[in-house]
Each structure stands twice: as C-alpha cells, then as structure tokens.
C-alpha cells in the first residue's frame, strides 16, 4: 500500500542523629485523577461494543496530562504515580500490570525506532507472544537495517539495552518469527542480510496467501509498505492489537506509559517527531498515557490539516478546554499548599521521630518558596549542610528568592565542588569523565564526593547518568553572577569549550548511531547556549544523515538559540536536510542558500551547508547550479561525495571521457561507495556501446554487493546487466538476470528499477524481431513510469520504440519519436546522448555526429556511433 493510503487507512479509524528521607507530598487531586483515569479507561474498554483498537474513528480517552512550570514537581509526581501503580498491583498479587517510562528530554528518546522498541520491551514483561508486532518488525528490520543485528542496535542505547535484556527482547522476537517461519536461519539477527530478507519474503508470502494474521486488519499493508519511519510509526497499532488479544486469554492487563518532559516535543518548529509520538498514543487506545510537561497538549485544540494527524475534539474529546470533569484529562499542577509544604519539611528531616527543622525555620522556607517543591529540596539540603558543619541553623539562614537559595547551595560547597556544580549547570547531563574534562585541575576525590550530592539525580539508563534539574541549572547560572568568586562569561565559555571537545572525543567511528545522536544533541545545546563550536558536530551530523537518522537531528534546539556563526550554519544544514528528505526541496534551498554567510568557507560547517544545498538543487532538477557547488567542495571535507556527483553530472551531459577518467582516479570509502563507482563506470561504457566493458563493471558491482549483503545495490547492478545484454540480443541473459533482479526488488522495493528492467526486455524483444512483444513491453514501461512519476522511464521507452521502427524501416515514425525524445531530454537536462544514438540508427553515424558534436564519446564519435549504428542494422 502506498504511504499516503497507509496514512489515510489509519486515520480512518547524612551521618548524624538527623534522619533524611525521601518524601512525596501527597497531591491528592492528582492521585485521584490517576486512579479514576485508569479505572474509567478500562471500564470503557470493557463496555465498548467495538474495540477502539479496531474502530480507529472512535475518540481517544487514554491521555492524562499534568502540566505546569519548571520545578513544580511534575517529574516527581510522574515517578510517584508509577510507584504507587506498581505497588498496588503487587499488593493485589497482579502480574498483569506494567509501566513504561520515557523521558523525552533524553537524546533519541522520541526516535520512533527507539520508542517502539522500549514499548515492546516493556510489554514483553506480560509475556513473549506479540506476533503481529514481532513479525512486522522482522519484515521492517530486514529492509531498513541491512546486515545490522537487532541486539547490536538494542545495546547501543543504555535505556533500551536495560529494558530489552530484562525480558530477552531479541529472543522473544526471534521466537515469534520461528513460530511462523520455521526455516528461519536467524535472519532477524541481521548477521546475514540475505537470511533476513528471506525471512521477510516468507512472512510476506504467507500474508499474501491469507495464512498469516488475516484477522489483523492492515497487517498486510504494514508488512508490504516501505520500510521507513513513516510506516514504522503506525506499528503501535499492532502492539495494541496484540495487547487486545492478550486480554482475550486473561483479564485485561493494565498498562501505563509515562511520557515525561513532553515540552521537548511541543516546543519544536518541526512537529515530525511529535506526529510520530501522537500516532503511537492514538493507535494504542487500550494503554493509559500519562504525559507530564510545561505546557498543555494542544491536540484537541488544533484544527484538521495541521502538522499532526489526529487533531480536534472529535479525536481527543477529554483533552479539550471544555472538559473539566471527565477523566483522563489535562491538569494544571499547582504549587504546594502551606500545609503540604509544612508536611514535606516535617517529614524530610527527623530527629528521634520528630521534625528536625524548627517551626520558625519551616515557616521562613515556606514563605520564601511559595510552594515550589524544588525550593524546598534545596532548603533541606542547606539545612543538612549547616548541621554537618556543627552549627545550629537559624531562621536568617533561610528564605529569599529561588536564586538566593541556589546561591546558598553553591556557597555551601567547597571551592572545588563549586567549580563542579557550575560545570554541571552548563550541560544537561554529566558523568565523572565529563566533569574531569571541564575541571581538569580538580582531584578525583572531589568529583566522587560531588556526584553523591542530593541535588544531583542519577539514572544509569543514560550514557551521561547525572543531571541537575533544569530550573536549578538556570538558577545556579544566575546566582553565580552575583557571587564574589563567580565565573565570568569567558570562564563559562572556556569550560563549555572543554566539555564540547570531550564530547567529540567520545564519538568515534565505532560509536553506535544512538550514542552518536545523544552526544550530538548535548553538543548542539551546549554550542547554542555558550557560543562554542567544534567541527566534530558537523561530521557527526553528516554521519547520521548518511545512516538515515535525520528525523531527531537538532532535537531540543529552540529557534532563539544563538551561538557561533558555525552553529547557525549547522542548524540550517540540519533543517535543510529535514526539509529535503520530506520532499520539500524548494523550502530546503531557501533555508540553505546563504546559510554559510559569515562562516569561514573552508570550515566543515560551511561545507556541510553547501553540499546539502547542492543535493536540494539536484532534487529540484537544477543540475547546473548543483554542479557548481560540488566543484567548490573539491579537496574539502566532502571531496569524495562531490567528485562522485560531478562525475554523474558529466555522464548525464555526455562528457564521458571526463567522467570516466575521474571515476578511475577516485578512491572509494567503503563497499557501497565502490559499488556506485563501478555502476557509474558501467553506465558510461554502456552508452558508448562498449558492452563487454560495461558488463565487466556491472558484474563486479553485482559480486561486491552480493558479498557484502547489499541487496538493493545488487538489484540495481543486475538491472544494469540486463540493460547491457539487451543490446546484444541476448534474450536468455536478459530473462535470467531480470528474474534475479526482480526477486531482490521484491524484497527491497525499488520501482524505478522495475521500469528499467521492462525497458531492457523491450529492447531485447526488438532486437529479436518480436514486434508484438516489444510494443506491449514499451506500453508497460510507460505505464510503470507514469505510476511512480519517473519521467526518465519515457526516455527509455522512446529509445526502445525508435529502435523497433528503425529496424523495421519506418524512419518517418522513428524521426517523430526522436523529436519527442529530444524534447524530453532537453527538458530534464540530461541523457541527451540518446538523441545522436537514435540518429545513428535512422540516418548514419556521420549525420549523428554532425548534428550533435558536443557529445564527448570515449573513443571518438566515429567509433562509438559506428558501434551504435550496427546495433540497429538488419540481420
């Protein structure tokens, strides 16, 4: 099913006598709302005549939102809701209640692959049987991650690794595949790409035969759709379907997904990532999603036609402003009341069972904090620090603004730790290594002691596990400016530069994509805030783009982020990539044009902007402007890519000798790069009628791709072999390699190659004198080209058509067809060499050269056009 139809289908439907303890102030209203939401959701599911999983037009009532200002305690509330939910289930001896937690501020957390695998890992605690999702994922993985083992991908992210290994996720999925594809030889592991593709084929064939999950609506469409993020974002429907079927065997499981720091998504200009997350929420109506963030969720307020798919009160009846009673709904998290704040302070520190804080101290804190939980936390830490020094805290030691409290927290620390807390306030997350990089003169003992401070949170699910609350980071930065030993802006920038450099040292060629993306996200935010820059960020960006991981690039960057000029260029390059990859080449050109102004031309960031501007121009069909940019990138960071595309430009414009010489001098970066070089070399030989040399180049490309498990590249090279053999009248070879290519294209869809195969078969039939078959195949070529919008397909059909008429002696019709071909190729700005080739068939090689002297044939016009003239000669 085509992507647009797939979308439409889913939318239709301390050491002292004082004891310090963790305290959660009982937010009664929020707790009640959660309990009611869970109960009401499951009641509605049980009473529904048609499950909302199946009826995708039903409004969704599965989102509970808590929003409010930073430091108000939303994350603490979210954790407490989760803790109580699981504790209640344990008390009732229920093993069918589970939670999944995702902090969207974590780099890569909103990446749709990561999000789905975390959800699947969480659900795996209910049991191992999730056939619809597992089989569809296996089909997707074989094509989207050729040669990459699933477990390797899972291990790349600490959060996913921990969740997946707890349940043996890759083993569960492999078992699901084995159940339905008994002969699977571990293809899902990705160790052999052909095995993985074989698994996909087996699943797909059973689907087509109606023997696999036929009762799961749209399962077949998802299995056969393009293996991309857009398709994958509909897979939550399969998880919901599997969960529903789990419910038929036992009582309905209770599943809660906690999405924290949601403002990270809602604050972006481009809402692509939010759209994917929203699809997940909408397509899993049998799961309660608890969203915490700074802002209301606007899904019910947005109008249809926005960047999100499911909008309006008909989709989210309980999220609209008008709903202030029915649960689940949206709740503003307020400041703590006076009594709640006092309860917190009385219980946070006790001595012999009594509150350690005197009443007048508590009153001073409550008055200053105005119910902000983070303010209370810092005040408790300050009280403990004063006790540790052997003093008795006095009333005047407390109160004041939040910034004043943060300033006291800094003054409480030894000088070495003051430097460390200021360092930690510069960046979202840290570890010991990064702190030492920022403060190389501080001894390890101070670093270890600092990491035990109570104002730092720790979560080993992150690559950098320690963090300060965002509000505290801001307050520390502000408070530090008024301290006698506070840092200057230059001090901050120098430390930020050291941190950024150390982040770059952590990104190595062997670093996984997920870790690279997380590190880059941290670097970008640091660069945007403190005006520092390092070239590794531009290189990491290009690496992620080449790997197809462009959706999450720039996550968390705000439009008002400033930074160095290189940072601005990099941000523009990221935006340009996202626009181009989503089919908005014209907008990409607008964003990228001039984005490198004010940046040193030879900087990596400037070159990154220019190469993606060139790519966007090519997508627009402006090959001349693109080629000028590619020439300016020679001998720079992206020299290899620029040289390749210049060769392609020369080839398209008939400068064959130039292109061939450049290709022969190039050094390939990897197997995929070498395969492309070989194929372009073959193209040049083929259109010069040097069919033996072309076949050698294509055969080498086939063997290389086959050995490396690059199925898509192998399919292209096989198609090229057929496109060469057809001119020799070798119908047997054409038929054999066409079948091999189609088998691979069936696994790794590429409709353009199908057009080329059909045109090769048309030429072979014309060479064999089979007029009826030739004409039918020409019609098929044009029909296929029109169905996918591939204008170049008509050039190929024209060539076959002219060949047939020339061999039959109907030169008048051949000339009319040649005029059509001439107009098409001039409009497209490439492949104009086919016109003199056709002229050699109709008139002669001499006439062809006289009329088209601009083509630079590899061994001269007489030889090349002479060979082409012989192709159409009667036999």
Q: What is the pLDDT of residues 386-395, one digit of tens each?
A: 887 777 888 8
Residue 52's DSSP bridge partners are none
Contact 514, 108 (CB under 8 A): yes
- Say whether pLDDT at 703 is over 80: yes
Length of the chain: 875
Report the share of the chain in percent with pLDDT over 90.
48
Among residues 347, 330, 283, which one has the least CA distance to residue 24?
A: 347
Among residues 754, 814, 762, which one has the least CA distance to residue 784?
A: 754
pLDDT of residue 197: 72
How many Cα atoms are found within 13 Å in the side-chain-facing hemisphere of 805? 19
> Tens digits of per-residue pLDDT, 569-620?
999 999 998 888 766 778 889 999 999 998 999 999 999 999 999 988 877 7
SS3 101: strand
Strand 254-260 relative to strand 288-293, pairing:
parallel
Q: Over range 379-387, report the average pLDDT.
A: 84
SS3 868: helix
Contact 857, 682 (CB under 8 A): no
Q: How confident is the model at residue 552 (pLDDT cuts 50, 70, 90)?
A: low
Backbone angles phi, psi at 99, to 5 degrees: -130, 155
Strand 63-67 relative to strand 288-293, pairing:
parallel
pLDDT of residue 6: 64
Strand 349-351 relative to strand 18-20, pairing:
antiparallel
Distance CA 455, CA 469 (A): 8
Lowest-pLDDT range of 66-75, 87-96, 218-227? 66-75
pLDDT of residue 610: 97
CA distances from 240 to 125, 207, 754 (A): 15, 19, 36
Classify residue 15 by burial, with Cβ atoms within 10 Å: 0-12, 13-18, 19+: exposed
Beta carbons within 8 Å of 313's beta carbon, 6+ residues apart: 59, 300, 319, 320, 322
Distance CA 456, CA 790 (A): 57
Angle of helix 834-842 relative to helix 861-871, nearest 10 degrees, comes to 60
Angle ∠(201,205,211) on CA atoms, nearest 5: 135
Contact 855, 654 (CB under 8 A): yes
Angle ∠(436,473,524) on CA atoms, nearest 5: 70
> Tens digits of per-residue pLDDT, 440-475?
999 999 999 999 887 788 877 677 889 887 778 888
Q: How many CB atoms lie within 10 A of CB 323?
A: 16
Backbone angles phi, psi at 289, to 5 degrees: -100, 125
Contact 299, 281 (CB under 8 A): no
pLDDT of residue 3: 42
> Tens digits of per-residue pLDDT, 826-856?
876 678 899 999 999 999 999 999 999 999 9
Among residues 636, 692, 647, 701, which one has the least CA distance to residue 674?
A: 701
- Say whether pLDDT at 344 is over 80: yes
Distance CA 334, CA 69 (A): 9
pLDDT of residue 502: 96
Q: Over range 501-507, report the average pLDDT.
A: 94
- Say whether pLDDT at 548 is over 70: no
pLDDT of residue 240: 96
**Helices (H) then strands (E): counts for the chain:** 42, 10
- Say whether pLDDT at 66 is over 50: yes
Distance CA 520, CA 516 (A): 6
Lowest-pLDDT range of 243-252, 292-301, 340-349, 735-744? 243-252
> Tens digits of per-residue pLDDT, 175-207?
888 887 766 545 454 445 566 677 788 888 888
Q: Over range 731-752, report the average pLDDT.
A: 86
Distance CA 261, CA 67 (A): 10
Give the distance from CA 112 to its chain's centroid.
6
């Amino acid at each position: 099913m085509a992507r647009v139809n797939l979308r439409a289908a889913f939318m239709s439907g301390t050491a002292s006598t004082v004891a310090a303890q963790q305290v959660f102030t009982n937010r009664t209203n929020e707790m009640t709302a959660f309990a009611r939401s869970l109960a009401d959701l499951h009641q509605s599911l049980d009473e529904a005549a048609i499950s909302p999983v199946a009826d995708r037009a039903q409004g969704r009532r599965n989102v509970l939102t808590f929003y409010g200002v930073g430091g108000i305690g939303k994350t603490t509330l979210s954790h407490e809701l989760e803790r109580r939910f699981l504790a209640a289930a344990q008390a009732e001896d229920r093993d069918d209640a589970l939670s999944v937690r995702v902090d969207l501020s974590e780099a890569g957390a909103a990446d749709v692959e990561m999000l789905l695998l975390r959800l699947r890992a969480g659900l795996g605690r209910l049991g191992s049987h999730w056939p619809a999702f597992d089989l569809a994922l296996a089909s997707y993985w074989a094509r989207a991650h050729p040669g990459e083992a699933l477990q390797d991908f899972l291990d790349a992210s600490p959060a996913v690794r921990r969740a997946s290994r707890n349940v043996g996720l890759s083993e569960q999925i492999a078992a699901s595949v084995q159940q339905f594809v008994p002969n699977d030889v571990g293809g899902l592991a990705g160790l052999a790409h052909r095995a993985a593709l074989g698994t996909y084929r087996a699943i797909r064939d059973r689907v087509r035969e109606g023997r696999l999950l036929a009762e799961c609506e749209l399962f077949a469409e998802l299995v056969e759709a393009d293996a991309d993020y857009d398709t994958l974002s509909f897979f939550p429907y399969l998880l919901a379907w599997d969960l529903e079927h789990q419910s038929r065997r036992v009582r309905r499981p209770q599943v809660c997904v906690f999405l924290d720091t949601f403002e990270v998504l809602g604050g972006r200009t481009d809402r692509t990532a939010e759209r994917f997350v929203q699809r997940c929420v909408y397509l899993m109506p049998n799961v309660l999603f608890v969203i915490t963030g700074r802002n209301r969720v606007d899904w019910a307020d947005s109008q249809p036609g926005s960047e999100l798919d499911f909008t309006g009160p008909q989709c989210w009846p309980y999220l609209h402003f008008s709903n202030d009673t029915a649960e689940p709904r949206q709740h503003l998290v307020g400041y703590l009341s006076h009594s709640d704040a006092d309860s917190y302070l009385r219980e946070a520190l006790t001595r012999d069972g009594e509150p350690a804080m005197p009443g007048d101290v508590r009153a001073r804190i409550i008055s200053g904090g105005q119910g902000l939980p983070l303010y209370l936390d810092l005040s408790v830490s300050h009280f403990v620090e004063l006790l540790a020094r052997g003093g008795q805290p006095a009333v005047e030691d407390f109160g004041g603004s939040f910034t004043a409290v943060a300033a006291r927290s800094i003054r409480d620390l030894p000088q070495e730790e003051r430097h460390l807390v200021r360092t930690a306030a510069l960046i979202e997350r840290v570890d010991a290594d990064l702190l030492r990089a920022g403060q190389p003169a501080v001894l390890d003992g101070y670093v270890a002691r600092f990491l035990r401070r109570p104002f730092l949170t720790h979560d080993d699910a992150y690559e950098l596990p320690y963090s300060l609350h965002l509000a505290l980071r801001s307050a520390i930065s502000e408070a530090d400016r008024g301290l006698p030993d506070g840092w200057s802006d230059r001090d901050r920038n120098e430390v930020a530069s050291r941190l950024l450099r150390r982040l770059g040292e952590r990104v190595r060629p062997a670093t996984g994509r997920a870790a690279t993306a997380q590190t880059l996200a941290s670097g970008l935010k640091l660069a945007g805030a403190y005006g520092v820059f390092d070239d590794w960020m531009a290189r990491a960006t290009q690496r992620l783009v080449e790997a197809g991981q462009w959706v999450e690039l720039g996550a968390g960057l705000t439009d008002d982020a400033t930074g160095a000029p290189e940072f601005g260029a990099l941000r523009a390059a990221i935006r340009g990539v996202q626009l181009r990859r989503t089919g908005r080449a014209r907008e990409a050109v607008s964003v990228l044009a001039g984005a490198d102004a004010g940046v040193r031309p030879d900087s990596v960031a400037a070159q990154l902007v220019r190469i993606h501007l060139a790519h966007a121009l090519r997508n627009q069909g402006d090959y001349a402007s693109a080629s000028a940019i590619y020439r300016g990138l020679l001998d720079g960071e992206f020299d290899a890519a620029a040289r390749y595309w210049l060769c392609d430009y020369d080839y398209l414009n008939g400068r064959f000798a130039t292109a061939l010489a450049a290709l022969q001098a190039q050094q390939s970066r990897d197997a995929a790069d070498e395969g492309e070089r070989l194929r372009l070399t073959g193209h040049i030989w083929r259109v010069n009628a040097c069919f033996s040399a072309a076949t050698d180049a294509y055969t080498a490309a086939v063997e290389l791709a086959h050995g490396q498990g690059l199925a898509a590249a192998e399919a292209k090279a096989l198609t090229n072999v057929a496109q060469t053999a057809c001119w020799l009248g070798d119908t047997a070879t054409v038929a054999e390699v066409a079948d091999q290519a189609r088998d691979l294209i069936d696994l790794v869809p590429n409709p353009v190659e199908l057009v080329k195969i059909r045109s090769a078969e048309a030429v072979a039939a014309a060479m064999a004198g089979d007029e009826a078959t030739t004409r039918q195949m020409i019609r098929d070529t044009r029909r296929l080209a029109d169905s996918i919008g591939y204008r170049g397909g008509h050039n190929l059909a024209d060539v076959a058509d002219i060949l047939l008429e020339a061999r039959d002696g109907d030169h008048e019709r051949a000339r009319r067809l040649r005029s059509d071909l001439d107009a098409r190729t001039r409009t497209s700005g490439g492949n104009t060499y086919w016109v003199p080739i056709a002229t050699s068939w109709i008139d002669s090689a001499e006439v062809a050269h006289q009329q088209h002297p601009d083509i630079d044939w590899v061994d001269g016009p007489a030889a090349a056009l002479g060979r082409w003239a012989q192709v159409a000669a009667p036999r």
